[in-house]
């Protein structure tokens, strides 16, 4: 325990403490609103995301086909029509919708586009390959399977939500 | 901990004389409000500086969201004020600070005038101060256009007409400012933005340095 005697604070020390305190309080009052303002994008809650109508179930086959779909994208003060694509096929009764974004560095993959690697998704940028269900082929650059869209069917129409990682 | 860190750096770089030279100087009795309360009038220069620092900071943060483009400027201001946390506060600091700077500069100038602090050998510092006043007016004029609303637009239209009324070179000045002989539009906004956030602040920083160095060289003017 420190005894009461050691609590002596000199006039200079007292002034230093109070001035530092008041100054720090004022600086915080100036800086904190600006800091919160700057980090706002990190703290914005992201909504679930809407489902977008893409195609009819009757259009789908066992073979992955590319479907483009457009929707209104809200980017802060800028709203625009944005187009996204999905590779969709039927796996029995299951509808599989894969994102065309390569999981290596984000180029766009194509189905069956490389003669040397039939029935695979192929990425032209660095030769990344994925099997039909999106699984990345070992020994090629991608480290995880293609992302898979959330799928919903309403009245025979396929709706897609956000693409989510498969693992 | 901090002390040891400081000592470590100081031992190698001998930084103590640097900050002592900047910060460690005696405040004469006649400018110290603790001795004579009326000496608070000597605070206005420092307060001007304090608010200019706030203007620099809040302005830097505002450009994180603002775009100087006639299509998006108004929408981006609306977004940063209405949707971003503390947007109203940060924009408010910049908005009110802009007026407060002028008030503080005015009071500072009055004090210098009535204490006769502009007299020999300090004439040059008065000149530099007046130059900074002009720069602050320029900052106010160019910043006013940036939200790109009706008030901003027409204030600038009027301001440009004033520039145009200068004999002989008036039209030239106006075109130089607005970027187009007739239209107050896309080029005017980008020009005003560039002037507001790069050219004038840089000039202001330079002149403030000169202002402060001269004060340290000449010392604070004596009592009345």
**A22: exposed, middle or buried (Cβ count in 10 Å: 0-12, 13-18, 19+):** exposed
Flag whether residue B57 sits within 8 Å of chain A, measured between CB atoms: yes
Predicted confidence band of residue B147 (pLDDT cuts 50, 70, 90): very high
| DSSP string covering A49-60 | ---EEEEEGGG-
Flag whether residue B163 sits within 8 Å of chain A, measured between CB atoms: no
Among B54, B58, B79, the residue with its CB nearest the CB of A76 is B79
- Which chain A residues in 60-99 lie under 8 Å from chain B, judged by CB atoms? 76-78
Closest of B169, B107, B98 to residue B138, by C-alpha? B98
pLDDT tens, B93-114?
999 999 999 999 999 999 999 9
Would you tell me which CATH number, out of the four given (1.20.810.10, 3.40.50.12640, 1.10.2020.10, 3.40.640.10), belongs to the domain B28-218?
A: 1.20.810.10
Q: Is residue B34 classed as helix, strand or coil in its secondary structure?
A: coil
Interchain CB distance below 8 Å, B85 and A76: no
> Of all helices (H) and strands (E), which one includes residue A95?
strand A94-98
Interchain CB distance below 8 Å, A34 and B57: yes
For the entire predicted model, the pTM comes to 0.85
B80 to chain A nearest CA, in Å?
9
Interchain CB distance below 8 Å, A36 and B85: yes
Average confidence score pLDDT of chain A: 90
Interface test with A, best of B86, B100, B147 (most A CBs within 10 A): B86
Interchain CB distance below 8 Å, B64 and A38: yes
Range list of H helices, chain A: 11-38, 40-43
pLDDT tens, B177-195?
999 999 999 999 999 999 9
> Of all helices (H) and strands (E), which one includes residue B79?
helix B73-82
pLDDT tens, B69-78?
999 999 999 9
pLDDT tens, A36-45?
999 999 998 7
Per-residue DSSP letter, A83? E
Flag whether residue A43 sits within 8 Å of chain B, measured between CB atoms: yes
Domain limits, chain B: 28-218
pLDDT tens, B112-125?
999 999 999 999 99
pLDDT score recorded for residue A65: 92
Per-residue DSSP letter, A69? E
List of chain A residues whose C-beta atoms are within 8 Å of the C-beta of residue B58: 34
Among B72, B78, B85, the residue with its CB nearest the CB of A37 is B85
Interchain CB distance below 8 Å, A33 and B54: no
Task: For the beta carbon of residue B173, count every other beta carbon within 10 angstroms.
Answer: 15
Complex ipTM: 0.86
| DSSP string covering B93-117 | HHHHHHHHHHHHHHHHHHHHHHTTT
Beta bridge partners of A81: A72
- The residue in chain B having the minimum alpha-carbon distance to the alpha carbon of residue A30 is B54
């Amino acid at each position: 325990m420190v005894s009461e005697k050691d609590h002596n604070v000199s006039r200079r020390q007292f002034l230093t403490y109070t001035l530092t305190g008041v100054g720090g309080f004022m600086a915080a009052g100036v800086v904190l609103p600006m800091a919160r303002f700057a980090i706002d994008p990190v703290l914005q809650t992201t909504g679930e995301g809407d489902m977008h109508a893409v195609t009819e179930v009757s259009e789908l086959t066992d073979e992955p086909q590319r479907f483009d779909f457009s929707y209104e994208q809200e980017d802060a003060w800028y709203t625009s029509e944005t187009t996204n694509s999905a590779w969709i096929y039927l796996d029995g009764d299951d509808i599989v919708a894969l994102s065309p974004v390569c999981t290596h560095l984000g180029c766009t993959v194509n189905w069956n586009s490389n003669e040397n690697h039939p029935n695979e998704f192929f990425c032209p940028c660095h030769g990344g390959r994925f099997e039909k269900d999106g699984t990345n082929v070992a020994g090629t650059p991608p480290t995880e399977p293609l992302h898979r869209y959330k799928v919903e069917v309403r009245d025979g129409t396929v709706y897609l939500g956000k693409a989510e990682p498969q693992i | 901990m901090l002390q040891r860190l400081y000592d470590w750096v100081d031992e190698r770089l001998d930084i103590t004389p640097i900050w002592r030279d900047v910060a460690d100087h005696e405040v004469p009795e006649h400018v110290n409000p603790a001795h004579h309360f009326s000496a608070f009038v000597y605070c206005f220069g420092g307060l001007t500086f304090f608010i200019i620092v706030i203007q620099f900071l809040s302005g830097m943060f505002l450009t994180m969201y603002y775009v100087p483009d006639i299509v998006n400027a108004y929408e981006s201001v609306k977004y940063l004020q209405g949707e971003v946390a503390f947007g109203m506060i940060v924009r408010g600091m910049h908005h009110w600070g802009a007026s407060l700077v002028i008030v503080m500069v005015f009071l500072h100038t009055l004090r210098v005038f009535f204490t006769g602090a502009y007299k020999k050998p300090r004439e040059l510092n008065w000149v530099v101060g007046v130059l900074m006043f002009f720069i602050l007016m320029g900052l106010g004029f160019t910043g006013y256009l940036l939200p790109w609303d009706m008030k901003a637009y027409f204030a600038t239209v009027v301001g440009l007409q004033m520039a145009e009324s200068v004999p002989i070179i008036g039209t030239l000045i106006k075109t130089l400012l607005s970027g187009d002989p007739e239209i107050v539009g896309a080029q005017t906004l980008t020009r005003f933005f560039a002037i507001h956030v790069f050219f004038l602040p840089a000039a202001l920083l330079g002149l403030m340095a000169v202002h402060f160095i001269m004060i340290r060289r000449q010392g604070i003017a004596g009592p009345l």
